[in-house]
Structure 1
Amino acid sequence: MSGQHPRDGIREACESFLDAYGSRDLDRLRGLMSHREDLVVLGTHRDLRFTGWTAFEAALADQFAAMGRMAVRTSGFEASLLAGGRAACAALTVDCDGTVSGNPVRAEGLRITLTLEVRDGTWRIVQLHWSVPQDGSLLRPEECDAPGGGEDPDDIADAFAAYEELARRVTESVNRRRFDFSRDIAPLVAGDFVEIVNGVPYGPDAVRQTFAPLVEAVGGGAAFSWTVALESGRVLTDGTVLLITTARVVLSGRGRPRVDDRYRITNVLRRSPTGQWVFVHQHRSELAESAADVDPADNTGPERAASWARRTGW
């Protein structure tokens, strides 16, 4: 990394990962990934969760046995440095073409978020989350180990408590018809915040738009609920944490269709100079048990919220 701009090193590590994956090169992947139990890999479906290199390596070996060489192309790259340049979060847009069990496979517009740390002078991938097209995943579901813990339970607990309080406060203010994004959410979102929802990136302004149809629906008699649960967490460095969470968003009311959406979310939070935890990045994938009368084409960000109001009659 000497003499190299940090973002260049991050991009190089991410592209090396994709190239090694496409060429089924487990040896190169071993050199790029964390070998500790803090490695967490998430896919779109509930069963696509791997904790630790051993579990992920076994899944890759099984997949590579059935997979031909995969052409992987990157069409978008963003990176944010964390913890004074000792950690980073990167988001990529990827297209893949290849074969699995002799059958052609194409996946376009995959969104991949990687969290990396500098270890022994080299960027290592410590967390990976990818969202794939609605028709399925390139990884086969496997049973996974229980989630690992972080180095500082107090920071993880404090950051998640801030998340829980955010969900509680927003639920209360929306239902009381007093919601104000600038007061209730904006102070907890970093200026360079990026959220990836089912493969589409959104900044703070787009997140703000998400709430307008919800507020309108509650004004029409709906009840809104937002709850979150912690699956696992780890400290990237002092003052920066990675949380793997699930969330449930419900919109209901007498005589109206019920919306009940559930998500798995990768969150990166940073402690501000005032001690407040703020969101730097989120990557959200909808879980299969979500139930709503909504067109899948509207299943992202503000379009999702607008679809609730339009298609459920709120």
Structure 2
Amino acid sequence: MCLNALAHDREIVVYATASVEADVMSVLRQFADAYASRDKGRLLGLFCSDRDAVVLGSGCDERNVGSAAIWGQVRRDWEQTDTLRMRFGWRSVSTMGQVAWLATDCYLYVQAGYRKAEVPLRITAVMIQNHLGWQIAQLHYSSPISVGSEADTCVE
């Protein structure tokens, strides 16, 4: 059942208010800032402390569950690059109670030695609100396949 229909039937609003959207996007921007400045403590502090906090990437081995695994992925990203900066575009933020979920377009500027690229990404995240504010419970990023790409986007 569509969440909008569920929300309508039970009179629960799922679209985030402007204030909640700003708070949730602030956490994502703080993540981007900590990632760019390579601030381990600030970055990991944005995640909920559950052993179940998850970060998924595009690579086959980029399934990270728990803060130790998340830190391992981030450390590897930092070791392989000189510069990493994110900027966000379109976004959609919804909420139900103390849970928010978002989707956003992102552009990741990467520099490694003399190589530079701006990689388009799609990010989805789930955040929970607790006494510390909004924290990331799940984060998934992937790069969309270009239209006209020869890659098959369907599983047969």
Range of TM-score over shorter length: 0.7 to 0.9
- Match of residue 58, structure 1, among 72, 78, 89: 72
Secondary structure class of the residue paired with 1:44 = coil
- Number of the residue aligned with 1:108: 119
Identify which of 92, 100, 106 aligns with 2:104.
92
Displacement of 1:133 in angstroms is 5.1
- Corresponding residue to 2:131 among 111, 115, 120: 120
Corresponding position of 1:10: 24
* Aligned counterpart, 2:9: none
Structure 2 unaligned spans of 5+: 1-17
Rounded to whole Å, the distance in 1 between the matches of 2:111 and 2:92 is 28
Determine the C-alpha separation between the residues in 2 that align with 1:98 and 1:48: 18
- What secondary structure does 1:32 align onto? coil
**Deviation readout 1:126-184 (Å, 9 max, x if unpaired):** 101111255xxxxxxxxxxxxxxxxxxxxxxxxxxxxxxxxxxxxxxxxxxxxxxxxxx
Give the direction of change, closer, same or farther, for the CA distance of 1:42–1:48 in structure 2 (3 Å limit).
same
SS in 1 for 2:83: coil
Q: What stretches of structure 1 move > 6 A for 4+ residues in a row?
A: none
Q: Provide closer, same or farther for how the CA distance between residues 7 and 133 of structure 1 changes in structure 2, counting only shifts above 3 A.
A: closer
Residue 76 of structure 1 is matched in structure 2 by 90
CA RMSD of aligned residues (A): 2.6
Query: Where does the alignment leave 5 or more consecutive residues of structure 1 unmatched?
Result: 135-198, 201-293, 309-314
Identity %: 28
Structure 2 Cα separation of the partners of residues 59 and 295 of structure 1: 29
Of 27, 31, 37, 2:51 maps to 37
CA drift at 1:41: 1.2
- 2:81 aligns with 67
TM-score (norm 1): 0.40
Q: Aligned partners of 2:88 and 2:120: how far apart in 1?
A: 9
Q: Deviations over 1:49-106 (max 9, x none)?
A: 0110111112212321332122311112210102x2x010011111122313x14242
**Separation in structure 1 between the aligned mates of residue 86 and residue 31 of structure 2, nearest angstrom:** 10
Q: Report the alpha carbon displacement of residue 16 of structure 1 after superposing the two structures with TM.
A: 1.1
Shift of 1:43: 1.3
> How far did 1:121 drift?
4.0
Q: Which residue of 1 aligns with 2:141?
A: 130
Between Structure 1 and Structure 2, how many residues are aligned? 138
